[in-house]
């Protein structure tokens, strides 16, 4: 820093400006450079490149399905976090907590339905997003690896959906997970062991509920977020959104 001596008065006077310049990087240069820097310097705008091909912007080409899936993930994260304030992963309480959310908690029923319908919509959108990528040939080189990351993200979405299914602890939840974990048990050699570990026992009980809860609220979302980071970064590194050749 310069050797200029500031008085306390000056420091206070400059405080808002200093805070602002610490958040938004000061830009010097031509007007074009300043515009570009505004994008480069902003993490939210930086998700998109400074220049986008005309054909990439055609909505009918991507239908925005990937971005919609991401927004649904954000909605699910927010509504899920709020639901956690009223939910206890215990076989004694879970069902009553869910009922309380529906009948007692202010806006609880809206919150629960937002979470539920967004979850259904996310599975649908991720699936449709994959269809779009497939039918437009966007999985081809150099985007093969990002397709693989996308498949992992589809699995994360399905695992999140499956683990969330048990949490209301009603008859539907119990039998769905009984059936689902028995499907896992059909895997050759280690199937029975997988079933035992994911349920934390031989039947769907307290151990299964807490395991599914931890997977649903902590482990799987974090893995999904990391994969999303890689997914979005690879879109840029693989040459931006795939697009029809110039007409």
CB of 20 to another protein, least distance (A): 46
- Please state, in angstroms and rounded to a whole number, the distance separating the CA atoms of residues 6 and 108: 54
Q: What is the rounded CA–CA span in Å between residue 139 and residue 149?
A: 11
Say how far apart CA 65 and CA 86 lie, in whole Å. 32
What is the widest separation between alpha-carbon atoms in the chain? 76
Q: Is the dihedral of CA 229, 79, 213, 198 positive or negative?
A: negative
Of 155 and 176, the one with the shorter C-beta distance to another protein is 176
Residue nearer to another protein on the CB measure, 75 or 207: 207
Residues of the shown chain interacting with another protein in the complex, contacts defined by CB under 8 A: 175, 178-179, 181-183, 196-197, 200-203, 205-207
Q: Which residues contact 167 (CB under 8 A, 6 or more apart)?
A: 87, 89, 94, 98, 173, 209, 212, 213, 216
Nearer to another protein, 42 or 202 (CB): 202
Measured from the CB of residue 182, what is the shortest distance to another protein in angstroms? 4
Please say which residue, 75 or 194, places its beta carbon nearer to another protein: 194
Instruction: Give residue 203's region: left, alpha or beta (phi > 0; psi -120 to 50).
Output: beta
Minimum CB separation from another protein for residue 179, in Å?
Answer: 4
Cβ distance to another protein smaller for residue 101 or 209: 209
Residue 216 Cβ vs another protein, minimum distance, rounded to whole Å: 16
Rounded least distance, CB 7 to another protein, Å? 57
């Amino acid at each position: 820093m310069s050797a200029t001596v500031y008085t306390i008065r000056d420091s206070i006077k400059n405080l808002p400006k200093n805070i602002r310049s610490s958040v938004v990087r000061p830009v010097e240069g031509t007007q074009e450079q300043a515009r570009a820097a505004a994008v480069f310097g902003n993490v939210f705008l930086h998700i998109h490149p400074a220049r986008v091909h005309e054909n990439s912007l055609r909505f009918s080409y991507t239908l925005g399905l990937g971005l919609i899936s991401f927004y649904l993930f954000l909605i699910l994260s927010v509504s899920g976090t709020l639901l956690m304030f009223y939910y206890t992963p215990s076989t004694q309480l879970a069902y009553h907590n869910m009922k309380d959310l529906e009948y007692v908690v202010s806006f609880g029923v809206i919150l629960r339905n937002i979470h539920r319908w967004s979850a259904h919509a996310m599975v649908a959108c991720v699936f449709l997003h994959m269809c779009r990528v497939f039918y437009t040939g966007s999985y081809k080189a150099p985007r093969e690896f990002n397709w693989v990351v996308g498949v992992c993200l589809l699995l994360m979405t399905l695992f999140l959906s499956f683990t969330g299914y048990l949490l209301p602890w009603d008859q539907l939840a119990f039998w769905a997970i009984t059936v689902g974990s028995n499907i896992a048990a059909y895997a050759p050699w280690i199937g029975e062991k997988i079933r035992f570990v994911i349920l934390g026992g031989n039947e769907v009980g307290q151990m299964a509920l807490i395991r599914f809860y931890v997977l649903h609220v902590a482990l799987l979302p974090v893995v999904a977020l990391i994969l999303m980071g890689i997914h979005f970064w690879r879109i840029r590194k693989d040459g931006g959104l795939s697009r029809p050749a110039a007409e």
